[in-house]
Structure 1
Amino acid sequence: MRTIATIVLLSLALSAFADSHVDLCSNIGDCRKKIHSIITDNWEPPAAFSVANVAKVSVTLSTQVIGEIESVEIIESSGSVAFDKTAIEAFSKTGTLLTLKGLENSEYRDFFRKFIIQFEAEGPPVPGVGLSDEEFVNSLPSHNGHIQ
């Protein structure tokens, strides 16, 4: 019995410590920016894709635990299974959005209970596009100073 009580107290202490070291948002705009930053930091788009990709993801958060992610669903596919998968994985890496604990319950419920986030990435650059002639020539592989 003592072990269980110790574990519960330790768990509560760790939770309080984690909450005290989270950068809580203070208003709706601030929360949007912080969520975007958190998700972006946890998103790793696939290394190789051939065209610009855009995926829209619907996110539902818990009504019981502020910031806890209940579901993540692709509502508009990029057309690339790998790209869409990385968008979903960004939320798995994120875990609970503790930053939202700085909001009033009504703001959380009205603005963040369910939201849509768009993931965008461009395909690889087309060789030579956006470069001056000299930059383009310098970007080509060379051997002993001669373009191959």
Structure 2
Amino acid sequence: MKQKRTELGLLQEQVGNLVGLSRVTVNRLENGTLNDMGYTKLNAILDLLGIGLAAQEGPNMKSGLAVAARSASTSYRVMLTPNALSHILRTGDVPQQYQAHLLAFLEETPLPVVVKAVAEAASAETSSSKIMKNLQHLAKEWHVCREVWSH
């Protein structure tokens, strides 16, 4: 952003004035020290400078089920397999030997991994929405502390 601004011969104060922000805010944005900025304000600066903002997929995770199963199994002797996790997600039935694993899955697995695992487990018979309901039910039943499951 700084490079583009200087190429256009604009000062931070000028950019700020043109989009309704302070020079300090523009400076902090350029230096990566701005903690938070709404999309509308960011987009105004980018438009002014002729910079596009494009959404793209994050780093490609080969298998969300494999990563989630491995993550949920970290502290346990018995390993939860991706196939077993997929079955649990689709049915909502958790065998006794995997209850601690699924609790770890609900409490600790990063949400992007959870979402990818749910998408991979979904089928024509069991939608992602149904799997999420299964997880919410289990989280409520087991009094999971992670807020995302309380909605």
TM-score (ref. length: structure 2): 0.30
- Higher helix proportion (structure 1 or 2): 2
TM-score (ref. length: structure 1): 0.31
